[in-house]
Amino acid sequence: MNDLKIAMKAKDKLKVDTIRMANAAIKNAEINIKKELVDEQVLDILAREIKMRRDSLEEYRKANRPEAVEKIEQEINILLAYMPAQLSEQDLRILIQETIQQTGAQSPKDMGKLMGALMPKVKGKADGKLVNSIVKELLA
């Protein structure tokens, strides 16, 4: 809420709109479950909002709409400020390799077992598509 006030004073319309949208998504979830969300649930909602924007970003790129691409990238960056620090690709690879050793995964057939053990470790800290692509690469 403090960031919203600061953005309003700075007349940063995009940041105000993005923060309001995130607050609305959080409030809707609280109404649906009829209680206040815990931090982990709020992070899940923010991660979902970021994922939706990343998905639409691809569509706008395909449609050659650079103004929309720029706006969505800015929204993603605003939302990422509220997420835990993201793992670098190198750190992610190390974590995936450690999890492969722990689970004994050896081939793409073991992907389900590996992802089941891995996702709780990277939840909110890495993009799921990136995790998926690195896992496929390492298991191939």
Q: How confident is the model at residue 60 (pLDDT cuts 50, 70, 90)?
A: very high
Same domain, 9 and 68: yes
Same domain, 21 and 53: yes
Residue 77 has pLDDT above 90, yes or no: yes
Query: What's 65's domain CATH number?
Result: 1.10.1510.10
How much is the pTM? 0.74
Residue 110 has pLDDT above 90, yes or no: no
10 Å CB burial of residue 64 (0-12, 13-18, 19+) is: exposed
**Total number of domains in the chain:** 2
Same domain, 104 and 71: no
Same domain, 8 and 74: yes
Residue-number span of the structural domain to which 108 is assigned: 89-139
Domain boundary among the residues 80, 104, 131 is at 80
Domain boundary among the residues 80, 101, 126 is at 80
Of 25-29, 55-59, 67-71, 105-109, the poorest mean pLDDT is in 105-109
